[in-house]
Structure 1
Amino acid sequence: MIYSFDTELAAEIGLNEAILLQNIAYWVKKNEANDVNFHDGCYWTYNSAAAFSKLYPFWTPRVIKYALAKLQQGEYIKAAQYNKDKMNHTNWYTLTEKGWLLISKHGQQKQEQQQEPVQNESIDGTKLSNRRYKNDFPSIYTNIKHTDNKQGVRARGPTL
């Protein structure tokens, strides 16, 4: 499995904390979109440390509990229990206002970085078309053309 994270966010709050914060934010937003798990004015997601360690097999439940505790101490997330079964002690998590501000701050920085002008020459010195922003370049994945021949499938790369 491939994992990704925001490097600036990780530098600010710690790698484990950044990964968990982004995971919780994703699931809270998904639950909001589906209008589920709404309690006390917030949308929530739930998971146990053991379940998180199955999602992130390189962490032990103890490491996860520590990272979640740091996120709570930093007031980026809050935890509660909304389980119908009183014997179930699975924690539910949501982001605090501070947590949402941190996530949106780093998301805004990413958008601004993508809008920086780029040079108008390719690496080999040939002129490119008059494109102003990095994200205006077509994705290499959408421009690969496949041709089927008797020797198999051959991919031709994009041309600019």
Structure 2
Amino acid sequence: MDLLINEPPLLVLPTLAKLIGLNESIVFQQVHYWLRKTSHEYDGAKWFYKTYEEWHEEFPFWSVATVRRTITSLEKQGLLISTTKYNKLGIDKTKWYTINYGNYKKLMSSRVAQNEQSSCSNCADGALKMSNPYDQVDHTNNQRILTENTTDINNLVVDKEAPPEKSEKANAQTAFEFYEQNGFGTLSPYVAEKIGTWIEELSEELVLEAMKIATENNARNWKYVESILKNWANKNFKSLADVEADRKRFEIQKQQRNRGKGMLEEKIPEWFYKRQSTDQEQPKSKNIDFEAERQKILEKLKS
């Protein structure tokens, strides 16, 4: 059972969309299409590279943030593999992509098994109705309840665009949303690419924190945010706890400096300077002729 097609148009099969999500199935199909076109082969697999800006050009009906979330979803499902290790320059963060066809085949096999199990279950239900006609009404009601519950569960899993259950994490703003909603300006593809790179380099919570600091300092521009992120990267920060610890260290050092400036220096009394001045005014002592002085004293005594 193969749900992939080998044609250029943006097509998607409903069964694949139901399994992995509508947006995911569109991107997944395009990745398969580009892998058939590419000539790059590394580590026994075909790869192609594409920036998020280029993905956005290919899917202009989505925002860069939507493209990024969709690709991340495919990576988490184990269907899409991405890396930057094939770039010639270390600073180049362009992603290379390939499909984990092994996981894809397992997904298809699981789907076939579920269909067969569902078919056998329907056969068993029919046999139950035939052998026990008096229980047909109760069984029908139970089956209806089970089907409704199952449908609700399937809708919850399949509808990737439906909002998740209310939770603090689910309601938190993404870095892309914060940028657009807090006066930084329109999110261009270039800045979106930069934000995504820093999210991968550090974390989304640190990128958000840098934006909040920029907002508090009334410096709503990406260059200021990136300077903060570079500083944290140089310090090897990995979480908000690292930022908070560094902030506390800075406050302690600041308090110590302020206390040092506030301490009064020991004041030298004025008499010291007067004594020093007096000593300087006194003439330097000369060599005294003690014998001549003794003779003068003796003559005065005789007289």
Task: Give the TM-score range, shorter chain.
Answer: 0.5 to 0.7
SS in 2 for 1:45: strand
Does residue 59 in structure 1 map to residue 62 in structure 2?
Answer: yes
For residues 76-111 of structure 1, the C-alpha deviation after alignment (integer angstroms, 9 at most, x for no partner) is 0111111112222110110112135658999xxxxx
The structure carrying a bigger strand percent of its residues is 1
Larger relative contact order (CA 8 Å, sep ≥ 6)? 1
The residue aligned with 2:103 is 98
The residue aligned with 2:50 is 47
Count of paired positions: 101
Runs of 5+ in structure 2 lacking a partner?
Answer: 1-8, 112-303
Superposition pairs for residues 69-80 of structure 1, below 5 Å? 69-80=72-83
Q: Among 12, 24, 32, which residue is 1:5 paired with?
A: 12
For residues 123-142 of structure 1, the C-alpha deviation after alignment (integer angstroms, 9 at most, x for no partner) is xxxxxxxxxxxxxxxxxxxx
After the TM superposition, which segments of 4 or more aligned residues of structure 1 sit over 4 Å from their partners? 100-106
SS in 2 for 1:51: helix
CA distance in 2, matches of 1:21, 1:104: 18
Does residue 86 in structure 1 map to residue 93 in structure 2?
Answer: no
Letter in 2 for 1:17: E
Relative to the length of structure 2, the TM-score reads 0.31
CA distance in 2, matches of 1:75, 1:86: 26
Which structure has the larger Rg?
A: 2
**1:77–1:99 CA contact under 8 A, matched in 2:** no
CA distance in 2, matches of 1:20, 1:62: 14
The residue aligned with 1:68 is 71
SS in 1 for 2:89: coil
The structure carrying a bigger helix percent of its residues is 2
For residues 30-58 of structure 1, the C-alpha deviation after alignment (integer angstroms, 9 at most, x for no partner) is 22xxxx21111210111122111111101
- Judging changes above 3 Å, is the alpha-carbon distance between structure 1 residues 65 and 104 closer, same or farther for their aligned structure 2 residues? farther
Letter in 2 for 1:77: L
